[in-house]
Structure 1
């Protein structure tokens, strides 16, 4: 990965940190994105100490905010003219229904709309850097999702597990729809299922204590969960792979609903509308 520039979101801890660390160990220039400056500095110090690399930078952004995402992209463009790998890793589960600074339900805003917008704003740079890769971190939780398109933000009856599952299905739909649009550009896009990994995601979700114990006993380490993400981001064996779902670094079948192209296109249109993409005077357009 020497000479390659990679951006990893949600990279100050957990899966994102392990992904950034692994890419830095392979010689990549890595941009660590997170919303907490202190955690960002700590992550940089640890990665530099572990790898001896100075080609690690931190960019601060709360990706639940569309304004922050656009500012992040401006900051990136001011310092970089290429991007070889984008890893959309950031995500969370919220026990109570909350809204983002843009008035959108937080799970949907952070887990789906954030990677959707960030990818769109960086797409021209990714195309210019081709061959380039986009890796969307999904979850097996999507297998049990069946969203209501008339209530994508779960305003009628909010359930944290349901909202999270639907956001992870949205990641897979986005992956497949984007792959179709990027055919022939040299930019690939895949979805990585890291499996059940023990990170701060679980404790911050404020789950039942007994369920937390059960999950902790069954969970793998973040460095193991990150292996599929790192494989898709960097392995020569993954070059050219696109529009696929991976588990344990192998192609896997996602849910039956995830292959519904009409549903994926419906979500795409709804996402563009919520983000103002493609509208007159908008700052960015999605791929045609």
Structure 2
């Protein structure tokens, strides 16, 4: 009996510690006016992206769900409209695994929309495979597609005044590494078919997100546009929809017990969208609605600059 009580105490203590550290919750208190403003959210049809879209729509923003799946987007729009009363949430197709699709999206957007105030680079995945252009799927979607999207929309963000770019990264960036030689040879930052190998590639792509934001902030100095990278927390989303069945069997019970729901996971993204006065923190990494320090490689000026230059070449921008 004593052993059972001790075990229960250890489990409850561990649960308490985890919910106050690794699975800590935060609440966005930002309240910037959004009426009359336009936001693009990639992957806005599910998970953190949909929760972000719902909150911005409730505040009166025009919200564009930039997604690959029309049916999911239309279902999300119907739900957002029902919950917020907004009639200003629309779908525009983009497939981040295709640089051609990203260019087509931005061309249509720039012809049909007069302003852009928020770009939320939210979409991401953990998977194996290749993009339409032959890049590793995680590098191509999580970093390169968003890199091109951002670059092509920068001028419109500058025109609107006070624009912000919020890019979802992850605490997984801590375990990332940028191997430029491997990228040149394989068009990827990680190779292999095993789960741990494409998880490592995911970490690498999330490091790219932090480095991209770090370098972008330098290039935006002197403009009215700011940028932030975000760790949303460990969240129950469709991020791991491509993992194997045995992994789902292991992950799902833990996720239900400990992981944040998408609304909780959206709070730091919303903080970077809506919190007034954070402009001096442009380029920083945020977690739990606060700027956090990052490890050396994640703020290495030389690596960030080289990643930018390599990404420009891969996207055909230079």
Extract unaligned runs of 5+ from structure 1.
Answer: 279-288
Q: CA deviation at 1:2?
A: 0.5
Higher relative contact order (CA 8 A, sep 6+): 2
C-alpha distance in 2, partners of 1:262/1:136? 20
RMSD: 1.4
Give 1:165's aligned residue.
Answer: 203
Extract unaligned runs of 5+ from structure 2.
Answer: 1-33
What is the TM-score normalised by the length of structure 2? 0.84
Pairwise mapping of residues 18-167 of structure 1 onto structure 2 (< 5 A)?
A: 18-94=51-127, 96=128, 98-152=129-183, 153-154=188-189, 157=192, 159-167=197-205
Q: CA deviation at 1:216?
A: 3.7
Task: Describe the superposition over 1:43-70 as per-residue Cα deviations: whole angstroms up to 9, x where unpaired.
Answer: 1111111111111111011111011101
User: How many residue pairs were aligned?
Assistant: 276
Q: CA deviation at 1:154?
A: 4.0
Give 1:192's aligned residue.
Answer: 230
Q: Give the secondary structure class of the aligned counterpart of 1:86.
A: strand
Q: Give the secondary structure class of the aligned counterpart of 2:180.
A: coil
C-alpha distance in 2, partners of 1:49/1:156? 44
Give 2:20's aligned residue.
Answer: none
Structure 2 residue aligned with 1:204, among 242, 246, 250?
Answer: 242
C-alpha distance in 1, partners of 2:55/2:111? 26
C-alpha distance in 2, partners of 1:67/1:249? 35
Q: Give the secondary structure class of the aligned counterpart of 1:2.
A: coil
Q: Give the secondary structure class of the aligned counterpart of 2:53.
A: helix
Contact 1:8–1:88 (8 Å) recurs in 2: yes
C-alpha distance in 2, partners of 1:180/1:241? 12
What is the TM-score normalised by the length of structure 1? 0.92
C-alpha distance in 2, partners of 1:51/1:254? 37
Q: Which has the higher helix share?
A: 2
Task: Describe the superposition over 1:15-68 as per-residue Cα deviations: whole angstroms up to 9, x where unpaired.
Answer: 100011111111111101110110111111111111111111110111110111
Give 1:285's aligned residue.
Answer: none
Q: CA deviation at 1:102?
A: 0.8
C-alpha distance in 1, partners of 2:281/2:108? 30
Find the structure with the greater CA-based Rg: 2
